[in-house]
Structure 1
Amino acid sequence: MKKLMYMCIAGALAAGAACSRIETSTSNQIPATNAYEASIRDNNMAAGSTRGTDEAIREANASTNTHAAASGGFMFQNQLMTEGEFLNEAASSSMMQIQLAKLVQQRSAKPEVRQFAEMMMDHHTKAALEVHSIASGMNMTPPAVLMPAHQKAVDKLSKLTGKELDEEYMEFMEDLHEYDIAKFEVASNKAPTVSVKAFAVRTLPILRVHLDSADKLESKID
């Protein structure tokens, strides 16, 4: 069970973003690293290039990152994530975590889990307001409803109660925050827009606190 829901959520979010890009342009599709490096190596061999493969790969990666910045986004998990997609995911994730926190406060068997959920509600209410403020300044409108992957998580946990809910919720919080930390770390370094980058920088320490708390609590209730 460990990591399963996270992998489903991350995969669904990535697939959703990829579908969106395919509909508008196929030029942003970046192969997996190994295939990417192999294609560069094959091209060099076919051209009889005397340059080192590592040099060619560095140049290709630099070109990819330049393209990502020019497109108003950054590379995450070998795909282009636009700043709009990043903000939309952040808004939807905050809405999801507020809904889950309310659910847990009503049905949890453990006061420590309810306390954690209260922290999630407080922090993500503030985060949602900040995301909407940043998006508004960029002439964007975050979603008013949950993304399908986030709705699926809510639907699944809504069927549980008591100890089973506590265990599944805390595992999900661990996995979700691992994914978010990886994404926000990239955004904090690579997001082209100052307000988006600053939001990622400010949010990262909070996400790390959430993950640390979730790790400790999940091990206690198992």
Structure 2
Amino acid sequence: MKQSLALYLMTGAAALSLAACGDNATTDTPVADTTATTGAMMDNAAAPATTAETTGMTADAHTTQFLTDAMKGDNSEVRVGKLAAQKGATQGVKDFGTMLVNDHGAHMDKVATLAKSMNVPVTQETKAEADEVYKRLQGLSGAEFDKAFVDAMVKDHKKDIAAYQEEAKSSDPAPVTGLAEQTVPTLQKHLDTAEKLQKSS
């Protein structure tokens, strides 16, 4: 009787032990599978966001040319503006020079930012015709300098306004045509100022 009871207890203990081992084996497997699945889902979810962040517009030849010319124009206006602020014989010319430096400097920042976003190289170059004007102005002084500077700015800004108005109506990307349209009033302000100085000289 005692032997039968001892055998019964040993058999029960072995059964409980096997059951416990079976539970542990069952619990471990899903945890590993769930972790792997979750990691894969996170990787897949992150992929589209990364792709979207690195995708940007690329400028065609026409857009590239406009942005490059715009940067060169701004660089030219800033340089000649600094010269006028230093060499101007009248306060009006000096103030106009400072206006050009400030306005075209700020515009250059906007154009450069847009150019970078469209994979267009930012340039520090100036326009060839502007270089000629700058070189001529360097050799002048007094009233002669003021007249030559103002005349050049009237001619230059008329050309700029026409170019920006044409760009605003083009089929280039909206950020470019929008910037062109927003720039026209500033260019018109510069032309108005130059024409007033021209009449008063």
Normalising TM by the smaller chain, what interval? 0.5 to 0.7
Structure 2 CA distance for partners of 1:154 and 1:191, relative to 1, 3 Å: farther
Residue 183 of structure 1 corresponds to which residue in structure 2?
A: 163
Structure 2 CA distance for partners of 1:191 and 1:113, relative to 1, 3 Å: farther
Cα deviation for residue 142 of structure 1 reads 2.9
- SS of residue paired to 1:143: coil
Residue 116 of structure 2 corresponds to which residue in structure 1?
A: 136
Residue 127 of structure 1 corresponds to which residue in structure 2?
A: 107
- Contiguous gaps of at least 5 residues in structure 1: 1-70, 74-81
Cα deviation for residue 166 of structure 1 reads 0.5
Say what the alpha-carbon RMSD is for the aligned residues: 1.5
Corresponding pairs, count: 143
Tell me which of 64, 75, 80 is aligned to 1:100: 80
- Contiguous gaps of at least 5 residues in structure 2: 1-58
Deviates more, 1:170-179 or 1:145-154: 145-154
Cα deviation for residue 143 of structure 1 reads 2.1
Residues 92 and 150 in structure 1, CA contact (< 8 A), matched pair in contact too = no
Q: How does 1:96-175 map to 2 (within 5 A)?
A: 96-175=76-155
What TM-score comes out, normalization by structure 2 length? Answer: 0.68
Tell me which of 165, 173, 180 is aligned to 1:193: 173
Residues 93 and 197 in structure 2, CA contact (< 8 A), matched pair in contact too = yes
For residue 165 of structure 2, what is the amino acid of its counterpart?
A: E
| Distance of 2:91 and 2:101 partners within structure 1 | 15
More RCO (CA 8 Å, sep 6+): 1
Structure 2 CA distance for partners of 1:191 and 1:210, relative to 1, 3 Å: farther
Residues 109 and 163 in structure 1, CA contact (< 8 A), matched pair in contact too = yes
Larger Rg: 2
Cα deviation for residue 157 of structure 1 reads 1.4
Question: Percent identity, aligned pairs only?
Answer: 25
For residue 152 of structure 2, what is the amino acid of its counterpart?
A: F
Cα deviation for residue 147 of structure 1 reads 3.0
| Distance of 1:175 and 1:191 partners within structure 2 | 27
Cα deviation for residue 191 of structure 1 reads 4.0
| Distance of 2:161 and 2:125 partners within structure 1 | 23
> Which structure has more helix as a fraction of its residues?
2
Structure 2 CA distance for partners of 1:135 and 1:206, relative to 1, 3 Å: same
| Distance of 1:183 and 1:190 partners within structure 2 | 11
Q: Deviations over 1:168-195 (max 9, x none)?
A: 1101110111001111111111141111
Residue 218 of structure 1 corresponds to which residue in structure 2?
A: 198
